[in-house]
Amino acid sequence: MNNLSNDIMYQASFEKNPEFEGVFWMGVKTTGIFCRPTCTARKPKPENVEFFDNTKDAILKGYRPCKVCKPLENPDETPAEIQKLMDELSVNPETKFKDIDLVERGLQPITVKRWFLKHHGMTFHAFQRTFKINSAFKKLQQGENVLDVALDNGYESLSGFNDSFKNVFGVSPKNSKMEKIVDLKRIETPLGTMIACANENGICMLEFSDRKALPTEFKDIPKHFDANIVQGENPHFKTLEKELEEYFEGKRKDFTVPLAPVGTDFQKNVWEILRTIPYGTTRSYQQQADILGNPKAVRAVANANGLNKISIIIPCHRVIGSNGTLTGYGGGIWRKQKLLELEKAILF
């Protein structure tokens, strides 16, 4: 049970505060429905509501999910039919879906377009092209012939392939040997959609898709590696997805997927210490600074924690305030609470 008062939860709901997403749900006695904190429907009077820690309790009490805010859905989750398209592209990047193909699958092309524009900043057809270009780039890096790669990736002309390639990398395919790439992929978890990035050395980013710092991180990573971030598959993603699934099922306490963290030497030292916090336990920022050998560096340690780009695997969620309170977390305090609850439940 969360320790928030009804007044705080009502005010958060009244303000549609996204910081409380996943922390509580509000049941409206006069209508028999329950909502998420950010619901845009007209707010009822305080005496006509009650609050729940989870959707199960709201349903057992007889409440129905609101049709406006859809509290049983993850708002950023990839729809199953779109996930299937992306999975097929992952297996075969040369696949080309036309609008007629989408219609035959029962999908509206305009709906698919809008979803990709919202979540990837590009149309579905542009998204397909990035997958093909990613695949082509890796084949060229392995020494394959430019013409063969263009034809294998479904391009009808070399000039069309050259133009598409230049749009992404800024150079022609034949001059791409010195270019580098960082792969990107959406991963669904019980706590929401995550964005993963990886290069040949390992995972360099794993963040919840609604993290406010994502735009900054998308600038830091390509600058650090002198590379382009392009949607595509990476061998490390398979290991990551498997281990994340096992973690959320309570079957994994340690991760083995290789990491390639982006940060200063000091930040990397702090992150290494984070990885020594035992599963299901917590430490304070002061304890982290003490282990680092610099007891006065509490603020610097806290700042480094906040700049961690690899959530869960580098477990900054296990660091709390000296008084035992949950402090800031990039993925939202509610997720920090859920992660700690998951680990303690499995541990004990």
Residues at the binding site for Zn(2+) are: 35, 39, 66, 69
Helices (H), 193-278: 214-225, 235-248, 265-274
Q: Report the 10 Å Cβ neighbour count for 174.
A: 10
- Total residues belonging to the chain: 348
Beta bridge partners of 26: 35, 51
Spatial distance between the Cα atoms of 248 and 240, rounded to a whole number of angstroms: 12
Is 197 in the active site? no
Ranges of beta strands (E only) in the chain are: 25-28, 33-35, 49-52, 64-65, 181-189, 192-198, 203-208, 228-231, 283-284, 319-320
Q: Two tokens at 28? A: 């409206």
Catalytic residue among 316, 320, 339, 342: 316
Spatial distance between the Cα atoms of 125 and 280, rounded to a whole number of angstroms: 44
Catalytic residue among 9, 26, 33, 35: 35
Cα distances from 280 to residues 60, 206, 271, 289, in angstroms, run 30, 20, 17, 20
Spatial distance between the Cα atoms of 143 and 177, rounded to a whole number of angstroms: 9
Q: Two tokens at 257? A: 């997927």
Beta bridge partners of 79: none
Is 204 in the active site? no
Q: Two tokens at 225? A: 């590696």
Spatial distance between the Cα atoms of 166 and 163, rounded to a whole number of angstroms: 5
Q: Which residues are catalytic?
A: 35, 316
